[in-house]
Structure 1
Amino acid sequence: MNQNSNQYLAEAPIGKLMMKFSIPCIMSLLVSSLYNIVDQIFIGRGVGYLGNGATNVVFPITVIALAISLMIGDGCAAFLSICQGKKDTDSTRNGAGNAVTILILSSIIILLVFMFAREGILSVFGATENNINYARDYFNVIAIGIPFFMFSNGLNSVIRADGSPKFAMISTLVGCIINVILDPIAIFALHWGVKGAAIATIIGQVVSAGLAVYYLFHTKTFKLNIKSFAIKAALLKHILPLGISSFLTQLSIVIIMGVMNNVLVKYGAMSKYGADIPMTVVGIVMKVFQIVIAFTIGVAAGSQPIVGYNYGAGQHGRVKEIYKIMMIVETCIGFIATVCFEIFPQQILGLFGSESDLYNEFGVKAFRIFLCTMVLCCVIKATSVFLQSLGKPVMSMGLSLLRDFVLSVPLVLLLPLSLGVEGPLFSAPIADIVTFLVMLIMMKNVLKELKKTIKKEGV
């Protein structure tokens, strides 16, 4: 078990390294996003748009669980990569063990809170009289899978940092394949409706969690022992701040969806679309948005071990080059996504079932307006992860908070006052433009700092 096995991160060609780590990471995140997308597609065709509306109401609880698991997992991954660059084996091993312990404890607490607060949660996230029973059925099952969901997602980041991105991808992919196979069986053959979709989902999550446990006995750069799992406050003070950006990014989605759902229900009821159509449509748009973000974060998070290792090893010239390549790739991802959303919104919406003309009308508007600045969004989110990889949690957190909370939430609340139910759709483009300008100023200083260090080192 040799930590120097990751030395190639400071020596191999950057483009080749980024492909090796980013592609499996993209696949892992894409598959995670597809869990919900697959449910939506089968529920939309087997139950109808009210069933999809119910899953949108429940979706935030999985995002809350994901936020906590990524705070622990991504924070630990960034910490491990920096420690590996410094050849600090003890901190690497103990950091991973602490992440496992905290993931287990936090997932159990989250499960208990969700089960006791079910009705309040559904109400806060915009359940309507028409979809509340579907929402309860879906919630009751999905909540049971929370510990497995959190453990597998949190450990995936650690597995990638340990130099095994392919295993991380496979563990998630296997779970999703199981979900895809069981979804139609549960919904169409067994007629279990939304409850069946939820059962299919958690079976896949249990398998993914089992594979993560298996990996803990086959790690590459550290070997866990009993003492590794003992919680050490000094370690957590380093790990959790590095993951705070991931936490806030996901948590902001919950806050935005909660506010958005309630606003859309309120103003939708006063429009020709009614209360259920806008909320259901925007929920679908947000989940399709998550697919693009899977590519975006996949490139950035996949590069995290490379950035962290080189930064810890003092190879700042390589760090700067990684960011440059990352920005080119993210711009391409954002551009391709924007073209698809502007030209083919009806076709994308149609994947989730065929509904009324009003449903389709609002859906097309939602895709074209809400996602029109995907290029800027991709660059912003990738930069936030990059800053996290450099061990700059405050900057990373600030960028995430600005776009996803400070700007987005007030805009969702204020824009409907003058634009009605279509107002919230403009919140994302405005937030992207303002945050991008702030990001340019922030990164100018960060890159200047790296450049000075490079000159001092004579790189």
Structure 2
Amino acid sequence: MNSNSNQYLEEASIGKLMMKFAVPCILSLLVSSLYNIVDQIFIGRGVGYLGNGATNVVFPITVIALAIALMTGDGCAAFLSICQGMKDNERARKCVGNAVSLLILSSIILVVLFAFGKEAILSVFGATENNISYARDYFNIIIIGIPFFVFTNGMNSIIRADGSPQFAMISTLIGCVINIILDPIAIFVLHWGVTGAALATIAGQFVSAVLAAYYLFHAKSFRLDPGSMLIRFKYLAKILPLGISSFLTQLSIVVIMGVMNSTLVKYGAMSKYGADIPMTVMGIVMKVFQIVIAVVVGIAAGSQPIVGYNYGAGHMDRVKKIYKTMIAAEVIIGAAATFLFECFPVPIISLFGSENELYNEFAALSFRIFLSTVILCCVTKATSIFLQSLGKPVMSMSLSLLRDFILSVPLVLCLPAVFGVTGPLYSGPIADIVSFAAALIMMISVFKKLDTKVTASGENTGFSVHGVRHSAL
């Protein structure tokens, strides 16, 4: 273990560093998103759209689990990177140990809560009399894999911050490949339907978790011991606030999906589309949207170790340059996604099975309206993660909550009174425009403060580590 193993983060070119960290992070997050996408594709073709509707109903529990994993993992990663910039190896080691213990404990608690609350959960997230039996079958198996899922996703953030983004990517990729191989066997050969898809998913999650556990004993910048694994509030108080934005982002997805599903079922039943088509279509649209978000978050989260290390070391000009480079990449991704969603909505939805004309009609409306301002969303999401990397949890959290909860939930509830079943689709563009404006205002303020710190130090690299210590830690 080398205490200066990550010193190249303040010396190498920003472009090369972002390629090194962001690309594996993007691929890792894309692979995680593909778990659900692959299930949807095979279930849609092997079971039908009611099977897909059932997985949409169960999907929020995996998002809740991911929220816990990312709050712990991303928070630990941000704190670890800042500690590395300060050469504070003792606190780095203990924060990782506390994070690992919390990941294990929280995942077990989640399994117990989900098992006892199954019927209530399925009801809240929009199960209908047509898909409830599929939903129960899928739910019963998926919760078994929750501990593996939580541990893998939390550890991925820590592994990337430790300087091994390729390992994080490979461990997740192997799990996804296993899922892709087993899905068609379970559904089309063994005829196990949604139960088979769920079994294939947890098999992949188990293998990825084993690989993440292996990494703990081969880390670059820390070595765990029994004492570091003992959960202590003073370390959780450093970790969790830095991960709260990731937690709230994921949790808001759960809330908005619950509200969205219930609203679409209610107003869909009063429309020509019926109750099942709008809910099923929107579930698929949200999962396709998650692919874009995986790329967006991958760029920003992949840059997190670079931002945190340079902020901890006092290199403010590099911090600003990283943000500008990151946002340029996010705009390109957002523009490409907008083109695809506006021009090819039906071919995209057809990947998940061929259905009737009404199904395709609502799918086209959903992609073209709900995701019309995805480019603004890309910038906002990236800015929130950047603020988290600077050790500014309140600003990061506020930005996440604004778009994904404060604006989206009331809009989904109120707009159907005017537009009917298509009303919830307009919640996306409105929330994106307002939250983008807020992100712009926040970053103007943050850049001014970074300029002040550089000026006060007299030179870019002369900013005292202790100045960051007080403000960030």
> TM-score, normalising length from structure 1?
1.00
Q: Which residue of 2 aligns with 1:48?
A: 48
Deviations 1:155-206 (A, max 9, x none): 0000000000000000000000000000000000000000000000000000
How much has 1:104 moved relative to structure 2? 0.3
Segments of structure 1 that go 5 or more residues without pairing to the other structure are none
4+ residue runs of structure 1 moved beyond 2 angstroms? Answer: 455-459
Deviations 1:48-83 (A, max 9, x none): 000000000000000000000100000000000000
Percent identity between the aligned chains? Answer: 73
Q: Which residue of 1 aligns with 2:445?
A: 445
Q: Which residue of 2 aligns with 1:2?
A: 2
How much has 1:232 moved relative to structure 2? 1.3
Q: Which residue of 1 aligns with 2:102?
A: 102
Aligned-partner Cα distance in 2 for 1:399–1:425: 21
Q: Which residue of 1 aligns with 2:188?
A: 188
**How is 1:55-454 mapped onto 2 (pairs within 5 angstroms)?**
55-454=55-454
The amino acid that maps onto 2:268 is G
3-state SS, counterpart of residue 372 of structure 2:
coil
Deviations 1:394-432 (A, max 9, x none): 000000000000000000000000100000000010000
3-state SS, counterpart of residue 3 of structure 1:
coil
The amino acid that maps onto 1:76 is C
3-state SS, counterpart of residue 4 of structure 1:
coil
The amino acid that maps onto 1:438 is A
The amino acid that maps onto 2:340 is C
Aligned-partner Cα distance in 2 for 1:327–1:146: 33
The amino acid that maps onto 1:368 is R
Aligned-partner Cα distance in 2 for 1:88–1:233: 19
Aligned-partner Cα distance in 2 for 1:340–1:418: 28
The amino acid that maps onto 1:301 is A
Aligned-partner Cα distance in 1 for 2:253–2:437: 21
Aligned-partner Cα distance in 2 for 1:428–1:30: 22
3-state SS, counterpart of residue 352 of structure 2:
coil
How much has 1:3 moved relative to structure 2? 2.1
Deviations 1:64-117 (A, max 9, x none): 000001000000000000000000000010110000000000000000000010
How much has 1:456 moved relative to structure 2? 2.5
The amino acid that maps onto 2:80 is L
Deviations 1:206-235 (A, max 9, x none): 000000000001000011111110111111
How much has 1:455 moved relative to structure 2? 2.2
> How many pairs are equivalent?
459
Segments of structure 2 that go 5 or more residues without pairing to the other structure are 461-473
The amino acid that maps onto 2:309 is Y
| Superposition CA RMSD, Å | 0.5
Aligned-partner Cα distance in 2 for 1:4–1:325: 26
The amino acid that maps onto 2:449 is E
How much has 1:439 moved relative to structure 2? 1.1
How much has 1:343 moved relative to structure 2? 0.5
Deviations 1:27-68 (A, max 9, x none): 010000000000000000000000000000000000000000
Aligned-partner Cα distance in 1 for 2:251–2:360: 29
Q: Which residue of 1 aligns with 2:463?
A: none
The amino acid that maps onto 1:378 is C
Aligned-partner Cα distance in 2 for 1:155–1:414: 39
Aligned-partner Cα distance in 2 for 1:440–1:230: 41
Deviations 1:324-361 (A, max 9, x none): 00110000000000000000101100100000000000
Deviations 1:375-410 (A, max 9, x none): 100000000000000000000000000000000000
Aligned-partner Cα distance in 1 for 2:258–2:3: 44
